[in-house]
Homo-oligomer: A and B are copies of this chain.
Amino acid sequence: MIRHIAVFRFKKGTTDNQVAGVDQGLAELPRLIPEIKAYEFGRSLRFVEGTWDYAVAADFDDEGAFKIYDSHPDHVRVVETVIKPLVIDKARIQINLG
């Protein structure tokens, strides 16, 4: 199993409604993309100073399953229409699950 993580910083002035649009877009994806084995996402709880704004953690069986997700039309649609317009910085990574 592997985990894909994406963390975002959003533009100043990003509204709660815009972030709710990200939540809603991502919430659809597990039913549309069966390769997703676990899917966690949400806005920063801001428990400490300096945190970024939003994160997605998605678990897959292997690299092939991750790549199906990454290029899946429904995922690309959510990224292009509701996420990318808000993003000023992003950190993406895939790691092995122990």
A residues contacting B by CB (< 8 A) are 2-5, 7, 9, 39-48, 50-55, 57, 63, 66-67, 70, 89, 91-98
Contact = CB atoms under 8 A, between A and B. Distances in A.
A90 to B, nearest CB: 8
Given A44-B94, A48-B70, A52-B91, 7 more contacts: A42-B98, A44-B93, A51-B92, A51-B94, A53-B93, A54-B93, A55-B95
A57 B93 contact: no
A93 to B, nearest CB: 5
B2 A55 contact: no
A51 B7 contact: no
Contact of A94 (B45, B63, B67): B45
